[in-house]
Every structure is written in structure tokens, then in C-alpha cells.
Structure 1
Amino acid sequence: MTETGTTITPPTLEDMQRWTWVMGRAQQMLLEFGIDRMQQAAAQPPPIDSLPFTGLDAITQAQSDFWSESVKLWQRFVDPTSAPAPAPDPRLTRDRRFSAPQWRDNPMFDLIRQSYLLIADHLIRSVDGIDGVDPKQKEQIRFATQGFVDAMSPSNFAFTNPLVIEKTIETRGENLLKGLTHMLRDISRGQLTHSQPDAYELGRNIATTPGKVVKETPLYQLIQYAPQTTEVHRTPLLIFPPWINRYYILDLNPEKSFIRWAVSQGLSVFVVSWKSADASMKDVTWDDYIVRGQIDAIDTVRDLLDVKTVHTIGYCVAGTTLAATLALLAARGEAKKVKSATFFTAQVDFAKAGELNLFVDDEQLKLVESLSGDGYLDGRYMAATFNLLRGRDLIWNYVQNNYLLGQDYAPFDLLHWNGDTTNLPAKWHKAYLTDLYRDNKLAVPGAISVDGTPIDLRAVKTPAYVQAGREDHIAPLESVWKINDHFAGPIRFVLAGSGHIAGVVNPPSAGKYQYWTSEAPAATLTDFLAAAKETPGSWWPDWIAWLSNQDGDKVSATGGRVPGKGKLKAIEDAPGSYVKSR
């Protein structure tokens, strides 16, 4: 038979049998999975749900111009000559969901795409018209609306995505079965997969910089790296990575590894590898991470190498506690234990902490508490929160590619690390969210104490190197800048291209991105940006030049400078056992 000149071939018996088998196999997979989940239900953690938001019923209907634009859209679809063709949609150029030509070449899918973008745009804009709610609640509504809009994209559904339809016909449904396998595996894990699951192994092709674990406490392992130069700087470098992730973000592979690069620059490098929380850490608090974590590690390195002072780095939340550590040392008259402090995308004043602040209110804190029955918070919940901040890239992109299209996962070391979650001590995590994010106590002199001592960031005179990411959605540029409003010592502020991870993990050999510095005094971020000079490539050489100016003395890389050859004997090879614990 024919329709509008196109021959439609009815399905053969073989085709019908094939599709019957595909549907039956899919039902069987779901049934088997459901039975298995019922048998394991008592032993499984609660499901990861989207965090609730209040005030969603305040979202109003789109304004009157929405209807006008809708009529025009349908008019162009029914009669393309009745209205002028629209200008190219600027959103299309930056929206990878609709970059395939099928979304424009096929009139029906072009209509679906344009209708979705029109509705999405008006939904987001309608939030601005809501009255009678406080600014934070309005931001929560906007965030939830954006999440809803992204979830409802036609690219996320098999029958409204032309690529999925083509793939399904081409593979005769194999893509859907393969995608269902991916989805059921992720449900079993309670976590979305982003990278080929078995592509990386710690110590084999990731976290491979040679070193030894030279100390182990109930809170952390201390890793000392083997020198690569005959002489090293007298003052060693001690790195504090965030405890909400594994430390090896700074040691992904030899080309990307900040740790390996720092060792090659003639530094004696130590890294703290935090223990992933378990029930034994239910009473761990802020004091533990500062006093029995960071200060203990500082004193350990000083004693091991017989030096009076160390250089330090604090990444993200570990930078926040490093600021508190410096303030406590200043209050104790021990500030000279730290020669310099470098902050990677770290915040000390949370007044402008960005979208993560939307997850910190009484309801969210109750949820965190309810998920921490054994004294620790499963790291998958934090991973889900961070994925929500970039849902289009870290959730829905994988729904389309790996669930609907049935594509294999590509090996990607950074995304492998992103999915290698770490459990958090519940008591400390709740206090962190309450005291710092919600109440912003660290920014108020004397409002917060460590080990019974009130601290004041204004007492910190340690030279500091502060790096921020231009596109950072975890620690926004405006928030990181505010460290300048609190420290009393000299600060070199550097703005790196890209975001929270790529802005930090950007080796000189990659030749990517850029950074901005200013030698002129800047009272505000606006002043800094106006005077800043752009330099192509990595900011790492700028940092090592700054660090070398703090201390140019060199010593022989022998004795205690070699892991296991000094006062502390080697316990095991890097990367150690704590980073492998789950």
C-alpha cells in the first residue's frame, strides 16, 4: 500500500516474532530484577530520591506571550509559507541534546524540539514572576523547575527521540535490551554509571605515582612520594584533598597528575588519604579533621623531615578546614608551622555559596539525618546531589546514550573518580552544612570554635595562593574571592579557566584553558577582573614560581626524604588501603 507517495511495507512474520521476543525478554529482565530486589530489600539502603523542595505549587502558568508564540509555531508547522522562518535558535548551538540534524531535518521532530524549548523557556521565566516567597525559596523553585524541565526533554524518551527510533529499528531492539541491562545494574548499585566500570584499577593505571604509606590513623593515611630529583626544596608540601572524594583526583594518570608534576618540580610531597567513614566514625567532628587530621599530619611531616614549617594545599572542603587550621594555629601562637597555604576552589565565607546552598534548610538537614542511621552518610547520596547540579550533563546525557541508545560506556578517568564515592561521618557532615553553609559561622570572628578555642580568620597572616574556577558550580568564583575579605596576610589570587575539577587538574603539557592574574591591588572581584591579565594554558607554573619564592633552599633527596628511610617506616605502597575501602 502507499501513503503520500511513500511505500509502507507491512512487518513480516519474522519481524513480528522478533519484536515479540524483544518485549518478552524485557519483561523477563524486569521480573527477574524485581524478584531479586525483593529478596534483598531488608539488607539494602534506602533508595536515592531527588531532594524535596517546597513551594513548587507557587509556579504560575506561563505569561500571555507564551500563547502567542505557540500559535506562531503551529502556524509555521501547518503552513511554512504563512510566517517568516525564525532566526536560528541560539540555544541549539550550546545544547548537545538537539545537535543531531534529525531534530531539524524531520518536520515532526523539529516541532517537538521547538515546542519543548518554548515551553521550557517560559516555565523558567515564570519563576521570576512569583511573589510572596523569600529569595532562597525562589531559587529553590527555579532550581527544581530547571530540573523538571531537563527531565521532561523529548531527548529522554524513546518515542520522541529520532536517534533512539533509528537505533531501535537498526538493531531490532537490541539497544533497548542493552540499555535496560545498564539501567538495572545502576539501580542495583544505587548510582548512575558514567565510565566503563572495569577500565581503571588503583595503582595500575590510575593513582600510580610511586610512594609509600608512612603513617596510619583511624582518620587518615599519610602518603609520602618518592623524590624524582637529586635535590628537593627544604620545605615539604603537604596536600589535604577533600574527604568527600578520593584523593587521587590529583593523581589520575602520569599526564594529568598534579602530585607527580609537583614531585618533578623538586618538592617533597605528602598527601593525606582520608578514610571513608564507617560506623566506627560516628562521633567524628570538625575538631577531628582539623586537630587530629590536618594539624597532626603537619606535625608528623615536620618531625619526620626535621623541619620547622611546611607548605600546605587544601582542596575544596579541605581548604575550608585548612583556613580553620591556620586560624587555630594563629590563636595558639603556632602559625609558623605553616610556611604557605594554597587553596584550590575553597570557600571560607558561604554567603554566596551558590546552588549547594539550596540543599541546606531544615527539611534537607532532616533528610540527611534520616539517611545516616549507622553514623555515616552513604557517599552515593552526595554523588546524587552533585549530579543534580549538572543534571543535563551528568544524568540525562547518560540516560539517552547508555539507557536508550544502549551505547557502551567510554573509559574516562575523571568520571571514574567522580563515581568512586566516599562515605561521610554523619555528625560532622550535618555540622558542616549547618554551621558553615547555613549559618556561615566561620566568617564571623569567634562564632565557631575548634577544640574549645574560638577562631578568627582575621588572625591568619600566612601567605596564601588562592585559585578559583571561572565556571565553578561547586565553589562559585564570587564565593572563593571572599577569602580576601578575611585573611590578613598576603594573597595571590588566580582565576583559572573551566570549573571545579578541570580548572584545577590542568597540566601544562595539555595546553588547555587559561588563567588570569593581576599585580595591581584589588579591593573587589570587579577590580580584579578589570585589571587581570590573561595567560594561555595552565596556572601550575605560576604557582610553583610563587611557592619557590617562599623558600628557595634545597637539600639532598636522601634519608627521610625517601619514603620509609626515615623515622617512619613504610606501611604499604601508595595508593594505600584507605583509598580502596568501600
Structure 2
Amino acid sequence: MTQDQHPYENLDRMSRAFVARLTGGQSPNAPVAAFANWAGHLARAPGRQLELAGDIGQAALRATAGVLGGAGFEPEPGDHRFEHDGWALPPFNMLKQAQLATEAVWNAATEPTRGADPAAARRVRFLGKQWLDALSPSTIPVTNPEVVEATVKTGGGNLVAGARHLREDMTRLARGERPETDYVVGENIACTPDKVVFRNHLFELIQYAPATGTVHPEPILVVPAWIMKYYILDLSPDNSMIRYLVAQGFTVFAISWINPGRELADTSLDDYRHDGVMAALDVISQIIPDRQIHAVGYCLGGTILSIAAATMARDGDDRLASISLLAAQTDFSEAGELLLFVDESQVSFLEDMMWDRGILDSAQMAASFQALRDRDLIWGRMLSRYWLGEEMPDADMLSWNADATRMPGRMHSEYLRGLFLENRLTAGRFAVDGKVIALRDIKAPIFAVGTEKDHIAPWHSVYKVKLFTDGDLHFALTSGGHNGGIVSPPGKRRHYRLGHRTPEAFYMDPETWFAEHDPIEGSWWEPWTAWLVERSGPNRVAPPGIGRPGHPPLGDAPGTYVLMA
């Protein structure tokens, strides 16, 4: 009898799955173990304790100076909690300085003590930061001068409006409804003209109608992440990367992943490669035969694309004209704060929860991402919507962000263990069809993009594709975050850095690369499309027909999978 079939083991898994429902999927053992490691080493380090005592005294003096008009604590770049003018006045200035001083002391206290596990110290710091943010005077109405001012001006109207918003949100949450929006998929968002030309159990393949009389001979395949709806790259018309590519004369195809239910619980990570990426390439090769294909992967779509490309290179499949990896990680040793959610205890806990449900629910994943930016996505939203009574802004990306997806349990387990936890892809231990693959086998030119403020795929991690590949590679670092940095059409106030590594060049570390490449004003889309054109055939051709010969389109896009709730 296998371990999964053993009744005692299944009883344990059922018990952990029940606890997971109460904790939102967070393992109670992981933070306890981290705290014990950090606190135990700190308790046995008298010198470190004396140092912290000095830090506390210096922080108190600095905070006092700030209250009296001297050089006190200032928020870090990107921290918008204390921007209102009222924070410069008493008693709010005292609360601000006390909060920032406490945060500074906490950061000092959670520096790893000699012998302690650095990962445990980082997790303790992160968890403490969550509590400090929750208890910050900026999140409490009576200690936030902006809320006090709004309450006085409106006679409490802001709180009445906030109570109405809270009731609406709770009702919507109970009903499982999305926030109201003016954006409708297929009408004013995800509306680039197109057809669904293929469908299997994992994805629909969308072929976009040409917008020019002639096109570049090599088509583009867009592989989005399956943790998001594909139309992050086809938002409203003036914010759509796919529409932009079509306007530049490219024939574009895009994968629209299914929003999986329990019936796909046993779908594997390799199924997403074989029945996803490879199946899409096969269909495109039937529609446009004897042509190489530009492959574009975003986020996890870029990770699975790199796996597919390395496998194709190993097997002698040369159909890829180029590979573009957008905010996509291939090495996970520097995967940022997401690593705080990935250790043996946490992964096992999630596996038991997914064993019970068959899937990872979209709310669970969304909560993890929100925790990484809790000041903006949780407490900032609460401040504006409930305490100030402001209406939620309506934007295409916000509407897309609320359209969450699920993930099959087996696939997510393999992804967390094989890539995040064990980093097999760049450690030479990731096998496809029983044989290990290597990124350095990829010979197609690569264009990799990182974003400066990415909390999901930190640019230092994205940059490491340079360390594990040998071919021609361009790397762009753009302003913005994981989504806003990628969705960066010309005309926005953006900048980027761009570098080129030839096959014979030596490796350059990211800090040196950053220092040696000055920012360029504009959108990285423009040099990227020029790069694609340079790697396309010299003569443009008539647009291909829509769909495979003998297989009429299955319907108008955006199709059916993207509409699955």
C-alpha cells in the first residue's frame, strides 16, 4: 500500500487540510519554527543584545529629534503612508516617528545572528512587518490626520460612505462576485480582433487578425502564466501589447489557459509543457508551415517556455526563431519574498490542502501576493475605501487583477518543489521524459525583461538567465512592477536600460550591469519589436489564413476558457 493510500497518513492529511481552511493555507509550524530559531540564537548572544539596546537608544533619540523639527526618520522610497501634510503636526508627528523608529529597530533585531538560519530571520522580519503595518497609526482612523480631516470636513460622511462600501464588499465576497467594473472581456478589454483556432483540455489557441497588408514571415506565440488570465497582454486597445505587435506587422497567436477545476487536479507541470506550449507550436506549424516561431513567455509562462525550449534544443527541434522572457524566472535561488512562503513545512501544508480540494484556490494565491505589498494592497485600500469613503478606481489592469484563476494541485506541487524549493532547472536536476535538460543547450537568441519594482520575479533573479545560458542575449530592465513594467506602451512616462551579451562575452554581475547601463526614456516595446524584426525574414508576406487547413475556427475570441469563473 502506498503512503497516499495508508489510512493513518490520509488521516494526518485530512487534519492538516482542515487546519489549512482555518489559516488560509498558511502552515502554523513554519512561523513557529522560524521564530524559535531566531529567538533562540538571539537569546544566547549577549553581545548582539547589547548592540540592539544601543540601536533602541539611538532610534529613540532620532525619533525625538524628528518630533522637534530635526533630522528624524523618513519613510523609505515607495512608502506612501505618511504623505499627508498633517503628519508634520503634533501629535501625529510623534506617532509617525514612533512607528518608523519601531520599524527600524525591528529590522535591526531581525538581522541574522551568527549561527541562525538567515531564512528564519527573514521570515520573522516579514511576519513582524505584517503586524507593524496592521498597527501603524496610518491604518487607524483616529490616529490618521487624513481621516480626521476628512471626517471633520464631511461631518462623518466619509465614514458613512466607507460603511456602505464595506457592506457592498462583504456581500460581494459572500456571493463570490467580482467588483463592479466598466470593462467587459471581449468588448473593451481583450478585444483585439481574433479567432479561437484550437482547443484542448488545457488551453485555447487564439489567432489574431492581421492589421497590415503584409506581415513578417515568422509568427509570434505568446505564452502567459496560468496563474493569470492571458489578457493582461491584451488590455484596453491603447494598453495592449498584443494589439501593438499586430500593428507592427506580426502574426500573433496567444495561449488562453483554462481556469481548472477539480477534474484537472492530477494535471502535471509537464502537461503544461507538452499539452500546452508544444501543442500550440504544433498547431502554428500547421497554419504557417516551414517557418520558425518567435516565442514570448510572461511570468510562469516564460518559465515553462524556457523548459520547453531547452527540451526542444536537446531533441534537435529548431522551430524557435527567438525566445522572449518577460519577468520570468529560470533560477529561483533569489526569488525574493515569495521564498518566505516556500519551505518543506509550508509546501507540505499546501500539498495537503490541495490534496483535499484538488486545486489551489485563486483567493489563496491572491492573499499571498497581497501580503507582499500589504501597505498598498491591503491597508492602503482599507484607508481609501473604508475610512476615507473613496470609490475604487476603475482601470483595465485593476479589472484584470480581480479576474483570478485557480491551479491544479499536482502541477502547483511540482512547481513549488521542483523549481522554488529545490531549484532543479539550473541545478542540472530537472528532467523531461526521463532525461535532464540544460538551459545552455538553447541556441535561439533571447530577449529577457526584468522590472525594477517586481515583488514576484525580482529582476536580480530574472537576470540570472545570463548565468545559465551561453547564446546571444539582450537584457532589458524597465521601470515599474511585475505587471505595470511589462504593460508599458509607448507614450507612458517610462524608462528602461538595455544591454547585449554576445556568446563569447564574460558574465557581468547585475550590480555592475546596472551601473554601466544608463536609463533610456521611453518604452522597451520599441527596441524589443526592432529586435524581433531583425530576427525575422527580410521580406514581408501576405497574411496567413485563419486556422488550420480543413479546421475552421472554433469561434470568436476571447473564447470560452477566459470567461470561466
Which range is displaced more, 561-570 or 150-159? 561-570
Structure 1 residues 534 and 453: CA distance shift in structure 2, 3 A: same
1:294-324 per-position Cα deviation (integer Å, ceiling 9, x unaligned): 0010010011122342110011111111111
Worse overlay, 215-224 or 549-558 = 549-558
Relative to 1, partners in 2 of residues 1:358 and 1:189: Cα closer, same or farther, differing over 3 Å? farther
- The whole-number CA distance in structure 1 between the counterparts of 2:72 and 2:223 is 48
User: Is the contact made by 1:176 and 1:405 (CA closer than 8 Å) also made in structure 2?
Assistant: yes
Aligned to 1:14: none
The residue aligned with 1:504 is 486
The CA deviation at 1:229 is: 0.5
Is 2:39 the partner of 1:56? no
Aligned to 1:138: 121
- Per-residue deviation, residues 116-175 of structure 1 (Å, max 9, x unmatched): 111121112211164542111111112212222222211111221122233334444443
Change (3 A) 1:317 1:92: closer
Take 1:50 and 1:171, find their aligned partners in 2: how far apart are those partners? 41
- Do the aligned partners of residues 298 and 160 (structure 1) sit closer, same or farther apart at CA in structure 2, a change above 3 Å counting? same
Q: Single out whichever of 566-575 and 112-121 deviates more from structure 2.
A: 566-575
- Residues 466, 156 of structure 1: alpha-carbon distance in 2 compared, 3 angstrom cutoff: same
Q: For the residues of structure 2 that align with 1:538 and 1:94, how far apart are their CA atoms?
A: 22
How do 1:55-74 residues align onto structure 2 when only pairs under 5 Å count?
55-56=34-35, 58=38, 63-67=53-57, 69-70=59-60
SS in 2 for 1:91: coil
- The residue identity in structure 2 corresponding to 1:450 is V
1:120 and 1:435 mapped to 2: Cα distance?
Answer: 35
1:518–1:531 Cα contact (<8 Å) kept: no
Tell me the distance in 2 between the aligned counterparts of 1:51 and 1:86.
44
Residues 424-465 of structure 1, C-alpha deviation per residue, up to 9 Å, x if partnerless? 0111101101110110111122x1222333322221112111
Cα distance in 2 for residues equivalent to 1:76 and 1:222: 59
Q: Paired residue for 1:104?
A: 88
Q: Which amino acid aligns with 2:35?
A: L
**Structural RMSD (CA):** 2.7
The aligned amino acid for 2:310 is: A
- The Cα shift of 1:69 comes to 4.6
CA distance in 1, matches of 2:58, 2:447: 53
Of 482-491 and 401-410, deviating more is: 482-491
Q: Determine the structure 2 residue equivalent to 1:267.
A: 250
Question: Cα distance 1:540–1:99, how it changes in 2: closer, same or farther (>3 A)?
Answer: same
Aligned twin of 2:320: 338
Q: 1:89 to 1:206 in 2, by over 3 A?
A: same
Deviation (angstroms), 1:337:
1.5
**Equivalent position SS for 1:97:** coil
Contact 2:297 2:328 in 1 (8 A): yes
Residues 267-276 or 530-539, more deviating: 530-539
**How much has 1:64 moved relative to structure 2?**
3.6
Amino acid at match of 2:542: A
| Partners of 1:284 and 1:427 within 8 A in 2 | yes
Q: 2: distance between equivalents of 1:74 and 1:322?
A: 54
CA distance in 1: counterparts of 2:61 and 2:329, whole angstroms: 48
Cα pair 2:112 2:118 within 8 Å, conserved: no
- Displacement of 1:500: 1.5
Report the equivalent of 1:286: 269
**Structural mapping, 1:408-557, within 5 Å:** 408-445=391-428, 447-518=429-500, 521-525=505-509, 526-557=511-542
Cα distance in 1, alignment partners of residues 546 and 478 from structure 2 = 33
**TM-score under structure 1 length normalisation:** 0.84
The Cα shift of 1:563 comes to 2.8
Change in 2 beyond 3 A, CA 1:73/1:553: closer
**Higher-Rg member (1/2):** 1
* Contact 1:93/1:99 (8 A) holds in 2: no
SS of equivalent residue, structure 1 residue 227:
coil
Task: Summarize the alignment of residues 20-169 of structure 1 with structure 2, pairs less than 5 Å apart.
Answer: 48=24, 52=28, 53-54=31-32, 55-56=34-35, 58=38, 63-67=53-57, 69-70=59-60, 85-87=69-71, 89-91=73-75, 94-105=78-89, 107-128=90-111, 130-169=113-152
Provide the secondary structure at the position in 2 that maps to 1:248.
helix
| Aligned counterparts, 1:555-574, within 5 A | 555-558=540-543, 561-564=544-547, 566-574=549-557
Asked if structure 1 preserves the Cα contact closer than 8 Å seen for 2:62 and 2:72, the reply is no
1:238-272, CA deviations, whole angstroms, 9 ceiling, x for partnerless residues? Answer: 00001101111111111111000000010000000
Aligned partner of 1:393 in structure 2 is 376
Shift of 1:47: 6.7
Change (3 A) 1:567 1:534: farther
Name the amino acid aligned to 1:66. Answer: I
Partners of 1:50 and 1:403 in 2: CA distance: 27
Residue of structure 1 aligned with 2:334, choices 317, 332, 352: 352
Matched, 1:233 2:216: yes
Residue from 346, 365, 368 that aligns with 1:382: 365
Which shifted more, 223-232 or 467-476? Answer: 467-476
Q: Which residue of 2 aligns with 1:25?
A: none
Structure 2 CA distance for partners of 1:416 and 1:298, relative to 1, 3 Å: same
C-alpha deviation, 1:98, in angstroms? 1.1
The 1:432/1:337 distance shift into structure 2, 3 A limit, reads same
CA separation of 1:302 and 1:553: change in aligned 2, threshold 3 A: farther
Structure 1 residue 516: Cα displacement = 2.8
Normalised to the residue count of structure 2, the TM-score between the two structures is: 0.87
Partner of 2:182: 199
Per the alignment, in what secondary structure is the counterpart of residue 519 of structure 2? strand
Instruction: Give, in whole Å, the separation in 1 of the partners of 2:140 and 2:374.
Output: 16
- Listed one character per residue, the Cα deviations across residues 8-27 of structure 1 (whole Å, up to 9, x for unaligned) are xxxxxxxxxxxxxxxxxxxx
Given that 2:283 and 2:548 are in contact with CA atoms closer than 8 Å, whether structure 1 keeps it comes out as no
Change (3 A) 1:49 1:153: farther
Cα distance in 2 for partners of 1:96, 1:151 equals 15
Q: Where in structure 2 are the equivalents of 1:213-252 lying within 5 Å?
A: 213-252=196-235
- What are the superposed Cα offsets for residues 473-525 of structure 1, whole Å, 9 maximum, x if unpaired? 21122211211222232211222222222221111132422333246745123
More off after superposition, 166-175 vs 485-494:
166-175
Give the equivalent residue in structure 1 for 2:9. none
Shift of 1:188: 5.4
The Cα shift of 1:568 comes to 3.4
Aligned length: 527
The equivalent residue for 1:403 is 386
| Gaps in structure 1 of 5+ consecutive residues | 1-41
Structure 1 counterpart of 2:451, which letter? G
